[in-house]
Structure 1
């Protein structure tokens, strides 16, 4: 006898929108919801399995028996199975027993579950995302902090390895414990945002979270949904935005996951040329199926609405947009126009961006991890673009790291690796990433990518950070890079925080902190970061000296900073052309002793009314070795700008 009662949360309009791919709040309908029916408390279950012969709810409440609690198929052909089970409450473990057309019984966790167990074949938990938020002030004004005209400096974090208090690879800090330590650290360091590598439920730790099974579940490794909300709440209360990694590109083939959910290719594309990822051995969503689009866009909405996320960094967009990604000739099929663009994936991304920006406006950001030159990625959909807010500037990252690997004598042959980005930096809205991908798999840590002995490595990295923070575009830095982590990132253990006992590491951390505060406090570095009027080369071609000079310009005419990079390990007396009537003062020097530098003072020792570098006047300055120096144009002769001070705890 079926002890499941008929019940529904779906209206006919809900079903219509779901089938059309236009339902963006499916988490209000699908999954397990605590409800009351006829005065009896229980749980309503609903799941999409259109090709199933039978669907039952199994769990710790019925000894995992697939005969007792059979759901009802809806009459409308939607493929939705649903029903009400009395007496169940929060914490109930459950799965769906899905009988396929062949008669096989598949035990599947709930695609819309809010919590999962922590084991290989994890079951779902009846859970809730109710939380009493305290971040009203942030939410009301966050559009100012997430704007393209705001300073955006992101600290990328893998929660399992940022900080640990145990050598046990399976013991993690709770989200609340992380909040206690992370929030004051981010606030002191001056980062405007954190980006969490995927915190959706995933079964395999070495995937770093990028092989997701529970798309609607905060991973229980670190606690409950409410614990994660507490962490986000605390960050918001302290003026720090939260970006979440989101992975709509693929999913693993775990038996309890989305793969062949009802015995058919339901969520993934049936054609392996479109539905299987050869690199990651995972399955690619069928972006042309309306119900799948509803699932994914609802998932994006879920994290932005329920968890108050300020943005989504969309993983592996390149693989989504290109039919031939990581495929040899003959392993992919061109689209109807004969080229390699995945038109269904492009349309999905356009619809995703349109939907979330319509819902949340400019208060949130979407960011594409995309490494090709796919056109118009951050342009509006109505203008033919894909609609992202920003795109990772992968070309800048590769060119910059390649340059700094070169010895000083060889750099003149690679000089324009640092100027090339200016040829395209306004084609899109760019974020400059020095991410986790650059410090794993034998690539070496950032500090060991730099050329030279230990002193030169740290000097090079300090100069690189000056270049990054003063270059147009938003910033992203992976955890540990701020203090010069010497070993590659290891996801099984804590960062090497003990390195901060050494002055050179502490000095590097202080430099990043001061650069963050300079970037945030001086609007010239962000208000025109996506505007051609905000940048001008003063000297881009001095190959022999490996010197680069450029200006950053604000909205006001006299709001100008000059950045000088001396990327040879020698002191130079250098002459620079400037405009008539301007006066300059040093405000930042990466060679300062407090940063671990050699403490060469970059004094301006001569101003001349002599034309130089196509400018009517010149100044001469002593340039420290392997250093970045920042000058500011004085607003008048009496103006005296104090050098940036080290921020004390």
Structure 2
């Protein structure tokens, strides 16, 4: 509290972010109200959630109910920044998210012309994980350096233990600049989803509204503002005409993790518009083709 008071006396426009895993109440409350005065706090449980699923749980056994809870586990009065990974995971001794997903295959099979099941799985999940994190974030989204395009290696700063080497004290941005590599597609996807969030302005304004959580299908869907997020986490099962209850209107496909420009296989036709119609049970909704390990974002036009 004292530090925040001094900071804002010197720089009233300063933003302070709390890195606290305890969930301490009042961390973002004003100092005058007995709080610590931070502007934001990091949602440190979110990356732990993703890494636990990736490391310990088979893809077909992911608990989407637990995942939804972890992604939205925050106090409504606090401004929270969500992220998929940070230095805590990527420092030497750990692995970056993409490296955890793909491991050594990253070194030899990231060219677009090469087929590799481990790489295709990792690239698909990396995009879905980032999009789900952004689309459920409270008031902000943090990208760790290199996470935008799936940097393959860890971070290690010069020290006595590595003979003061700078080899891993870098991010290889050239990988994202090469259109023949899947890194480029991962980077393009990051740009597209961040632009969507900026243009729609749902962060800090609209809370996620759960539409569907179907464990048997590994499908998770929610709405935020006029954006509707549909995720199929199942590793092998694609579903045609999947029913999703939504308000009446027309829904345009605005983002697809499967697009070829995002290093995806391109299983969904671009530019689609979905119109609501009656569903079984007297409900209103749309029917959507949801490929395996794919996420779609639809925008409602009433």
Q: In structure 2, what is the equivalent of residue 549 of structure 1?
A: 221
The reply on whether 1:484 has 2:150 as its aligned counterpart is yes
Q: In structure 2, what is the equivalent of residue 593 of structure 1?
A: 260
State how far apart, in whole Å, the 1-side matches of 2:150 and 2:52 are.
18
* Residue of structure 2 aligned with 1:575, choices 243, 251, 257: 243
State how far apart, in whole Å, the 1-side matches of 2:144 and 2:212 are.
30
SS of equivalent to 2:52 = helix
Q: In structure 2, what is the equivalent of residue 374 of structure 1?
A: 24
The 1:425–1:611 alpha-carbon spacing in structure 2 relative to 1, beyond 3 Å, is: farther
Report the number of matched residues.
268
The reply on whether 1:399 has 2:88 as its aligned counterpart is no
The reply on whether 1:536 has 2:209 as its aligned counterpart is yes
State how far apart, in whole Å, the 1-side matches of 2:145 and 2:136 are.
21
Q: In structure 2, what is the equivalent of residue 16 of structure 1?
A: none
- Counterparts of 1:164-243 in structure 2 under 5 Å? none
The reply on whether 1:461 has 2:97 as its aligned counterpart is no
Q: In structure 1, what is the equivalent of residue 110 of structure 2?
A: none
Shift of residue 449, structure 1, vs aligned partner: 2.1
The 1:522–1:582 alpha-carbon spacing in structure 2 relative to 1, beyond 3 Å, is: same
State how far apart, in whole Å, the 2-side matches of 1:546 and 1:427 are.
31
State how far apart, in whole Å, the 1-side matches of 2:75 and 2:294 are.
23
State how far apart, in whole Å, the 2-side matches of 1:518 and 1:486 are.
26
The reply on whether 1:517 has 2:182 as its aligned counterpart is no
The 1:605–1:381 alpha-carbon spacing in structure 2 relative to 1, beyond 3 Å, is: closer
State how far apart, in whole Å, the 2-side matches of 1:427 and 1:450 are.
35
- Counterparts of 1:498-513 in structure 2 under 5 Å? 498-500=174-176, 501=178, 502-513=180-191
State how far apart, in whole Å, the 2-side matches of 1:447 and 1:593 are.
19
* Residue of structure 2 aligned with 1:430, choices 68, 73, 80: 80
- Counterparts of 1:327-406 in structure 2 under 5 Å? 350-361=1-12, 363-405=13-55, 406=57
- Counterparts of 1:70-469 in structure 2 under 5 Å? 350-361=1-12, 363-405=13-55, 406-411=57-62, 414-421=63-70, 422-426=72-76, 428-433=78-83, 434-450=85-101, 453-469=118-134
Whether the 8 Å contact between 1:547 and 1:566 is mirrored in structure 2 is: yes
Q: CA RMSD in A?
A: 2.2
Q: In structure 1, what is the equivalent of residue 171 of structure 2?
A: 495
Q: In structure 2, what is the equivalent of residue 584 of structure 1?
A: 251
Shift of residue 562, structure 1, vs aligned partner: 0.6
1:495-532 Cα deviation digits (max 9, x unpaired): 23443434311100111111121122221x2241xxxx
Q: Which runs of 5+ in 1 are unaligned?
A: 1-349, 554-559, 636-649
Whether the 8 Å contact between 1:588 and 1:630 is mirrored in structure 2 is: yes
Shift of residue 611, structure 1, vs aligned partner: 6.0
1:478-509 Cα deviation digits (max 9, x unpaired): 21221211122233233234434343111001
State how far apart, in whole Å, the 2-side matches of 1:599 and 1:386 are.
48
1:60-107 Cα deviation digits (max 9, x unpaired): xxxxxxxxxxxxxxxxxxxxxxxxxxxxxxxxxxxxxxxxxxxxxxxx
Higher relative contact order (CA 8 A, sep 6+): 2
Shift of residue 534, structure 1, vs aligned partner: 2.6
State how far apart, in whole Å, the 1-side matches of 2:10 and 2:296 are.
43
Q: In structure 1, what is the equivalent of residue 232 of structure 2?
A: 566
TM-score by length of 2: 0.81
The 1:352–1:497 alpha-carbon spacing in structure 2 relative to 1, beyond 3 Å, is: closer
Between stretches 445-454 and 430-439, larger displacement belongs to 445-454
1:238-284 Cα deviation digits (max 9, x unpaired): xxxxxxxxxxxxxxxxxxxxxxxxxxxxxxxxxxxxxxxxxxxxxxx
Whether the 8 Å contact between 2:60 and 2:218 is mirrored in structure 1 is: no
1:571-612 Cα deviation digits (max 9, x unpaired): 222110012x32211100011010011101165666322366
Whether the 8 Å contact between 2:276 and 2:286 is mirrored in structure 1 is: yes
The reply on whether 1:610 has 2:282 as its aligned counterpart is no
State how far apart, in whole Å, the 2-side matches of 1:401 and 1:427 are.
27
SS of equivalent to 1:418 = helix
SS of equivalent to 2:298 = strand
Q: Which runs of 5+ in 2 are unaligned?
A: 103-116, 158-165
TM-score by length of 1: 0.39
State how far apart, in whole Å, the 2-side matches of 1:485 and 1:423 are.
28
